[in-house]
Amino acid sequence: MKRLSNWSIAFAVIGILSFCCSLAFSKASELLMISGFGALLIGMLCSLGAMYKNERGMSKFLAVAAFFLLSFILVWNEPFQIVRLLTWMKNQMKKPVRHDGFFH
């Protein structure tokens, strides 16, 4: 295994753990879910890079499979979680940034 394959596995594991923790901890579920999705997405990109470079081994397919499998399971079991996650992301982008008590 080469470098990109190792990174894709690491990000896939981090993403899977974040998704599992988001279901267990309701207080920080949005943050854990978005970080898990982001880690899985980065892992998938590393995996695609490993495929492009023709790295040896089959582990490079793990992150892509985990990304699509978890996305399918999430949509199958709780279809409105995706809508809630996208709404949360949109609301986080609209919040103004405060500096010294003033809006800039």
Digits of tens for pLDDT over the chain (104 positions)? 688 888 888 998 998 898 888 878 877 777 888 888 889 889 889 888 988 888 888 888 888 888 888 878 877 877 777 787 778 778 877 766 666 655 55
The predicted pLDDT at position 97 comes to 60
Give residues with Cβ within 8 angstroms of 4, minimum separation 6.
46, 47, 49, 50, 53, 55, 60
The predicted pLDDT at position 14 comes to 92
Output the CA–CA distances (angstroms, integers) from residue 78 to 62, 72, 74, 75, in the order listed: 23, 10, 6, 5
DSSP label at residue 59 = G
Please give the structure tokens belonging to residue 22.
């988001």
First to last CA, the chain: 48
The predicted pLDDT at position 100 comes to 60
